[in-house]
Chain A
Amino acid sequence: MVEAVMRPQATARTARKRTGLHKAMQRKSTIAFIMALPLILLIAVMVLYPAGYSLHLATLNKSMERFVGLNNFTFLFKRETFWLVVWQSCIFAVTAVVFKALIGFIVAHFVHNIPTKGQRKWRGMLLVPWVIPPAMSCLAWLWLFDPSYSAFNYIIALFGGDPIPWTGNTYWARFSVILVNIWIGAPFFMIMYLAALKSVPDQLYEAAAIDGANWWQRIWFVTLPMMRNIIAITALFSLIVTFANFDIVRVLTFGGPIDTTHVFATWAFRIGIEGGDIPLGACVSLFMVPILMFAAVFILRDINRRGNEA
């Protein structure tokens, strides 16, 4: 800019060009873009490339030598196990998220009502399941679920009950993997909801109490509406993570008995890596995208519509 003023005639053309570039460089959005570029590149390499590559893989034949178009997809559609996995993944994710949210909400309320002094201790202890690496805690659960030597069955036997085939029966196995997922994931909800609870002003509850609301009406008309956005975002985030869960099923049941606890990630692994059909495995894992996209659009649209009311 300064140069352009000092030598107006000789370099008018180049100066104008340079001014344009200079201005662009000074724009905040440009600076922001440049600063974010390393991360954008990282995401491109770590996310976009694998995504594109798996799309490419999904169109190859088993030996990855020939382009077969959508043949892998049509083949999957004809397999009963595929639809079983779709069904199981949905049940697994939805049930687990609903219970995680419910338990997280209730526990958050209890912790919120503990005096501040003892609260940190409880918060820390309740976060433990979420902090332990899932593969490790799943091993512990595996022992707890063991048909012959497990603590659970021992206790049941003490009361004269029959031993339960925790991972051996279809329905019990589904119950077990969901239970462990809830155990691991509920603390995350608890901590998010606790933060949201703390941000609701006390005077709103006092106003509601004077307006005649009982405790249930206070939760329904004040707490829940005030936490709506946090609840929605946490649920979405957890839905994505739960849907793509791998470790719990892998360690506890290996997808069994007879594939009845497989979810997308474990079945894709079974077919692609263990079964040696990588294109078909890639194809299976790609099916998570449209389902999760639908959930994300649905939930985020609601948040955008409401905006920040506070």
Chain B
Amino acid sequence: MAEVTLNKVVKFYDNVEAVRGIDLGIKDQEFVVLVGPSGCGKSTTLRMIAGLEEISGGEILIAGDVVNDVPPKDRDIAMVFQNYALYPHMTVFENMSFGLRLKRFPKDEIKRRVDEAARILDITELLDRKPKALSGGQRQRVAMGRAIVRDPKVFLFDEPLSNLDAKLRVQMRTEIKKVHQKVRTTTVYVTHDQVEAMTLADRVVVMNGGRIEQVGEPNDLYHAPATRFVAGFIGSPAMNFIPCAIEKTAGALRLVLHGGLGFDVPADRTKRYEAFVGKPGLSLGLRPEHITDARSPLEPGQQAMEVDLTVTEPMGMETLVYFGINGTEICGRVRPDAGARNGGRMTLAAQLNHMHLIDESSGLVV
């Protein structure tokens, strides 16, 4: 177990800068998830921590030691790959014990560790099988077992659930979380799935274009995104972005959406937004769950609006409703019994206490 530190880490492929100076401190026993769209540099970062990619600039420290030039085998890490990378000619036991056998551990110690890991992962009865005879989920467990028996300083996961079907993915996600609660090894986990990131992580690192957009606990990222990218990337369905302007009225600020609709800015935000009065290029960010069916009386912070629904999507526990404001499609979430129907007119309430104001020129949430 150890902390991992990245200082100004840079990676060039020929002339393409894949990772552009990343600073990140991962605490001992922490579960950190790197998330972002494909090509954002998250896998490259992980592979640099593993030692599978050379570091073009900056330094990586594991347990306080700079490991830039240390080969993977001497970094005391274990990695779980997307396609599991199990050795097809070895049994599950041989796969899991391979690393220990190379390090010439005594036989009974190897057996003890493999049995222990197999028990944690519930794969004891598979130990004599070859990977060919295993299902996707079982292979995934074996790959994790191979990491656990090594008792390394750091676990690295490279999109380990992408090859599983949706149901199994949810199941294995819980499984990984349980394992981390039992074996509290520092973990770096890469995924493009924001739900996976939110559910697993102690802290989430959102990456985009080779840079870190924001680091924070899942709930912080969700409720207080720092940039437009994070605001749009985290959350499903995604946050609505509506072009808007701020106007000053008597003693208060008013948010005017292009197209005529307007809301009063909550009083506690007046000061924060004052500087943006009359500025162009602003957007209102509002999550779908903050656009609900209006119930009277309105809750504090809620403001009503009449809209024409274009599409409704009943999900069972709620209904997603879509409508347009001046050409921008907006998504809201209403109760299933609120009477939403395709093409119908409906009164919705926007919860402005949860609004975000985005300065499109800088991409920051203000």
Contact = CB atoms under 8 A, between A and B. Distances in A.
B81 A212 contact: no
A158 interface: no
A206 B87 contact: no
Given A201-B83, A310-B88, A310-B132, A209 B71 contact: yes
Interface in B71-116: 71-73, 77-79, 81, 83, 85-90, 98-99, 102-103
Interface in A100-154: none
B132 A206 contact: no
Given A309-B130, A309-B132, A207 B73 contact: no
A201 B85 contact: yes
Contacts of B85: 201, 203-204, 206-207
A213 B88 contact: no
Contact of B73 (A203, A212, A221): A212
A206 to B, nearest CB: 5
Interface residues of B, number: 25
Given A217-B102, A310-B132, A210 B87 contact: no
Contacts of A209: 51-52, 71-73
Contacts of A207: 79, 81, 85-87, 146
B79 A212 contact: no
Interface string A218-231: 00011001101000
Nearest to A224: B89
B103 A203 contact: no
B55 interface: no
Contact of B87 (A214, A217, A221, A228): A221
Contacts of B86: 207
Among A207, A213, A309, find the residue whose CB has the most chain B CB atoms closer than 10 A.
A207
A211 interface: yes
Contact of B89 (A201, A212, A217, A225): A225
Contact of A210 (B50, B88, B90, B130): B50
A210 B89 contact: no
B83 A211 contact: no
Contacts of B50: 206, 210
Nearest to B77: A210
Interface string A188-221: 0000000000000101101111111110010001
Interface string B287-315: 00000000000000000000000000000
B88 A211 contact: no
B73 A309 contact: no
Nearest to B132: A309
Interface size range of chain A in the complex: 20 to 34
A217 B102 CA distance: 9
Contacts of B130: 309
Contacts of A214: 73
Given A206-B81, A207-B81, A309-B130, A212 B88 contact: no
A36 to B, nearest CB: 31
A203 B131 CA distance: 15
Interface in A205-264: 206-214, 217, 221-222, 225-226, 228
A204 B99 CA distance: 13
A59 to B, nearest CB: 48
Nearest to B158: A203
Interface in A33-68: none
A309 B88 contact: yes
A209 B103 CA distance: 12
Contacts of A212: 73, 99, 102-103
A208 B51 CA distance: 13
A214 B71 CA distance: 10
A214 B85 CA distance: 17
Interface string B40-61: 0000000000111000000000
Interface string A296-310: 000000000000011
A23 B49 CA distance: 64
Interface string B330-364: 00000000000000000000000000000000000
A211 B132 contact: no
B82 to A, nearest CB: 8
Contacts of B72: 206, 209-210
A310 B83 CA distance: 13
A212 B98 CA distance: 9
Given A209-B72, A309-B88, 13 more contacts: A203-B85, A206-B52, A206-B72, A206-B79, A207-B81, A207-B85, A209-B52, A210-B79, A211-B102, A212-B103, A213-B73, A225-B89, A228-B89
Nearest first, the 8 closest Cβ-Cβ pairs linking A and B are: A211-B99, A203-B85, A207-B85, A212-B73, A225-B89, A212-B102, A309-B88, A209-B72
19 contacts: A203-B83, A204-B85, A206-B72, A206-B85, A207-B81, A207-B85, A209-B73, A210-B50, A210-B52, A210-B72, A210-B73, A211-B98, A211-B102, A213-B73, A225-B87, A226-B88, A228-B89, A309-B89, A309-B130
